[in-house]
Structure 1
Amino acid sequence: MSTVEQHYANHLAPIYLWMAGGAESALQAGRDDLAALDLTLAPGCKVADLGAGFGMHAIPLAERGYRVTALDRSELLLGSLEALRGDLAIETVHADLLDFRAYLPDPVAAIFCMGDTLTHLPDFAALETLIARVAAALLPGGAFVATFRDYSTELVGDRRFIPVRADADRILTCFLEYRPDTVLVHDILHERELGVWRTRVSHYPKLRLSGAVLVDVCAANGLAAGIDSGSRGMVRLVAGRL
């Protein structure tokens, strides 16, 4: 089994933009995600994007005039972000999610943790640590916005096989294998190389996180949170610092 960092470095990061539908399609989806939020931030304020990847949300945030710190553990994905950002005010940071406070010396207006980033944490203790640090890093009245996939309900049978994307030369499918606190995600990649199909498989653990658990952890740290349905099958959480 790979760690999250190994899985992305060796398997997913090189195809991540393709997996997301290409840069422009993914950035438009990020813009749509932000437009769907009932969130008012001061012009030019400082925000952070944790698990920013290639900039799906960091770039649209900067397009809105916010000063963005974008943190991710994948150097390859951050390189894609830097290539896509142009002259936008985005500071990129290659670091672990739990270490983000070292790069935010002053409180910020909002912290975003989008995609399925939260489930990449190693355990629920790490989740509690992250949320405590998020709460401490927000200005009074600041916002925490996160999306994630709810793996708390176990899929069975063929439903555990999930088509991700396919074209003439590449097919990506994932298979879910459940454990008590985690789900092992097997990413099965078929690629045509010089007319020959080759298969690569890698798997890594994700937390079986539910909306109710995340709301409770937020409340324990002074964040009033609500959840609803987000885009692309995600759960969306919006929390405010009391």
Structure 2
Amino acid sequence: MNIKEHYENHLANYYSWMFGDFNAKLNENQRFFQSHNIKPVSSKIAIDLGAGCGFQSIPLAKIGFEVKAIDFSKRLLDELKNKSNGLGIEAIENDILNFDAYSDCKPELIVCMGDTITHLDSLESVQKLIENNYEILFKNGKQVLTFRDLTFELKEEDRFIPVNSDNNRIFTCFLEYHPTYVKVFDIVYEREKGRWIQKISSYKKLIISQTEIKEYFEDTGFKIEFMGIENGLVTIIGTK
């Protein structure tokens, strides 16, 4: 199953639930943007690549950005629309590598957060994304990338990752390591009419090293303002 099919047919059903309290996640990202002094300065336009249900888009809109929220999942974008009524967010259903969908809007900020870039098919696609973002950003504009470092292989039972659970649902991930990617199995047990039903879907995540991302930023021309681990993810912020 490809990544879009995985989201539309399986993961979108559980995506916001698996992160726990929705508002707590919004507040976490709002604190992140504030701590890194990310606020509207010039065009006031921000692009959120892999926007999903709005964990980044909503906080960005609340601090004054006009947000272009790009995602290939209609179901997640519909959820974003329902939860962002009245905010300056335009939901655009498209692939984040389809640069024509957002390249003419003169952004001063581009974010690609969560673990979105590991969903791309190759390191070349990651590099192309960074280069294209640099080209369309205003001078002194910022790019924010976060991703999970999968270069350290988990072994044996450590490959089973509990995600979330409640009285009617249990969500676990299982990781299968390959040389250039990790195959992720999203395993859900859900109570339906008094019975527990197992639902499984899988997809690939690209293995990206911190060194590679740093080099892509620097080779493109970004000045790196911050690089470190925040909220369990590698975070890099570059300025044009």
TM over 0.5: yes
Structure 1 counterpart of 2:176: 177
Structure 2 counterpart of 1:99: 98
Whether contact under 8 Å (2:43, 2:106) holds in the other structure is no
Residues 1:120 and 2:122 are matched in the alignment: no
Structure 2 counterpart of 1:41: 40
Residues 1:240 and 2:239 are matched in the alignment: yes
Structure 2 counterpart of 1:227: 227
Alpha carbons of structure 1 residues 228 and 92: separation in structure 2 relative to 1, 3 Å: same
**Root-mean-square deviation (Å):** 1.4
Mean Cα deviation higher: 25-34 or 187-196: 25-34
Whether contact under 8 Å (1:101, 1:133) holds in the other structure is no
- Tell me, in whole angstroms, the C-alpha distance in 1 between the residues paired with 2:199 and 2:147: 26
Deviations 1:39-84 (A, max 9, x none): 3531771111000001101011000111110000100000001001
Query: Following TM superposition, by how much is the alpha carbon of 1:25 offset from its aligned partner in structure 2, in angstroms?
Result: 2.6
Query: Following TM superposition, by how much is the alpha carbon of 1:101 offset from its aligned partner in structure 2, in angstroms?
Result: 3.9
Q: TM-score by structure 1 length?
A: 0.95
- Tell me, in whole angstroms, the C-alpha distance in 1 between the residues paired with 2:31 and 2:96: 25
- Tell me, in whole angstroms, the C-alpha distance in 2 between the residues paired with 1:202 and 1:186: 6
Query: Counterpart amino acid of 2:175?
Result: L
Query: Counterpart amino acid of 1:228?
Result: G
The percent of aligned pairs where both chains have the same amino acid is: 37
Whether contact under 8 Å (1:62, 1:89) holds in the other structure is yes
Aligned positions, number: 239
- Tell me, in whole angstroms, the C-alpha distance in 1 between the residues paired with 2:175 and 2:32: 26
Query: Counterpart amino acid of 1:8?
Result: Y
Whether contact under 8 Å (1:43, 1:65) holds in the other structure is no
- Tell me, in whole angstroms, the C-alpha distance in 1 between the residues paired with 2:50 and 2:178: 24
Whether contact under 8 Å (1:185, 1:204) holds in the other structure is yes
Query: Counterpart amino acid of 2:212?
Result: V
Query: Counterpart amino acid of 1:15?
Result: Y
SS at match of 2:114: coil
Whether contact under 8 Å (2:33, 2:39) holds in the other structure is no
Query: Counterpart amino acid of 2:236?
Result: L
Deviations 1:171-195 (A, max 9, x none): 0010111111100011111000011
Whether contact under 8 Å (2:40, 2:64) holds in the other structure is no
- Tell me, in whole angstroms, the C-alpha distance in 2 between the residues paired with 1:33 and 1:64: 12
Structure 1 counterpart of 2:74: 75
Structure 2 counterpart of 1:135: 134
Whether contact under 8 Å (1:177, 1:183) holds in the other structure is yes
Mean Cα deviation higher: 218-227 or 138-147: 218-227
Query: Counterpart amino acid of 2:228?
Result: D
Deviations 1:189-215 (A, max 9, x none): 100001100101111000111211101
Structure 2 counterpart of 1:189: 188
Query: Counterpart amino acid of 1:45?
Result: K
Query: Following TM superposition, by how much is the alpha carbon of 1:34 offset from its aligned partner in structure 2, in angstroms?
Result: 1.8
Structure 1 counterpart of 2:146: 147
Can you give the 5+ residue segments of structure 2 that lack an aligned partner in the other structure? Answer: none
Q: TM-score by structure 2 length?
A: 0.95
Structure 2 counterpart of 1:108: 107
